[in-house]
Amino acid sequence: MTSTMPIRDSTRYMRHLARLIVGKDVIVSNKVAVDHIVLGSEYGRWPLLPAMTSDRSVVYSFGVGEDITFDLAAIERFHCQIYAFDPTPRSVKWIKDQPTPPEFHFHEFGIDAKPGEMLFHPPKLDTHVSYTVSSSGSSNGEPVKAQVLDLGTIMQRLNHKRIDILKMDVEGAEYAVIETLAQQGSLPEQIMVEFHHGMYGYTARDTKLALDTLRHDGYYLYYVSNSWREFGFLHRDSEVGMSVASSRHILHTAHTP
């Protein structure tokens, strides 16, 4: 019996191949195989490692937009504490109208490599939600100024000596954050990030360099979404990571065509 790829996934795969041909996407190989689950809506789904997630887990969720289905699902399943961040006006307004459980804590600032104020450019289409720190290819309106903090400063402000899980969907700011991640203190055991190569002026090479930095910082890649943008990583010093290392799995590599 043969199986066929669903039409939607097949279309995404063909787009991925087209982007590869013109150098706008990355080839990723040598994922490690670990048990994980994917939580959230089709738009806001992210992977988690059940063996490394519990009611003691501290989760930082950067860039919530108007979709907290992942955050709520993680709370329902693991009873973990979710600290969500988004400084953009549409998200702030939307969150205030949502019923949220006590484990969900929202903060009206963003993340960057260093603290300060940044301009956030609105999306081109009114039907879209995500603002970006990049002025390239923006926008359908005036940018807004909002506060951003580096990860270490955020942890100090919230009195956290460690975080267990870091999720970033921050429309391009991920590159600067990843570049300085090892300087921010203890590294999270799990990282989920959406990369934005081919958008806002960022390139496939930017994503390759970010993947190389994460590899250097000790992360294994275990998940890539069907859109080839959302990635999941676990640290080699975690319990699952040490098990992977003992099995002699190879750390991921990435390159541009």
Residue 2 has pLDDT above 50, yes or no: no
Task: Please indicate whether residue 199 or residue 102 has the higher confidence score (pLDDT).
Answer: 102
Residue 242 has pLDDT above 50, yes or no: yes
pLDDT at 15 > cutoff 80: no
Q: How far is CA 144 from CA 90, 116, 176, 196, 227, in A?
A: 11, 14, 20, 21, 29
Q: What is the mean pLDDT of residues 50-67?
A: 96
Does the pLDDT at position 79 exceed 50? Answer: yes
Q: What percent of the chain has pLDDT over 90?
A: 58
pLDDT for 141-180, tens place per residue? Answer: 778 888 999 999 999 999 999 999 999 999 889 999 999 9
- Let me know: does 239 contact 51? Beta carbons within 8 Å: yes
| Lowest mean pLDDT, pick from 70-79, 131-140, 240-249 | 131-140
Residues 217-243: what's their mean pLDDT? 92
- Across the chain, where does the E strand assignment appear? 27-29, 37-39, 46-48, 58-62, 81-85, 104-107, 110-111, 116-120, 144-149, 165-168, 190-194, 219-224, 230-235, 253-255
Q: pLDDT value at position 139?
A: 55
For residue 133, the model assigns a pLDDT of: 62
CA-to-CA distance for 202 and 179, rounded, in angstroms? Answer: 15
**Looking at the predicted structure, is the pLDDT value of residue 140 above 70?**
no
pLDDT of residue 198: 81
**pLDDT the model gives residue 3:** 46
Per-residue pLDDT band for 59 (boundaries 50, 70, 90) equals very high
Enumerate domains of the chain plus CATH numbers.
Answer: 26-255 (3.40.50.150)
Beta-carbon contacts of 12 under 8 Å, excluding residues fewer than 6 positions away, are 226, 227, 228
Q: Is the pLDDT of residue 54 over 60?
A: yes
In this predicted structure, which of 59-68, 199-208, 248-257 has the lowest mean pLDDT? Answer: 248-257
**What number is the average pLDDT over the span 42-56?**
95
pLDDT tens-digit readout, 91-137: 999 999 999 999 999 999 999 999 998 887 776 656 555 666 666 55
Amino acid at position 50, single letter: P
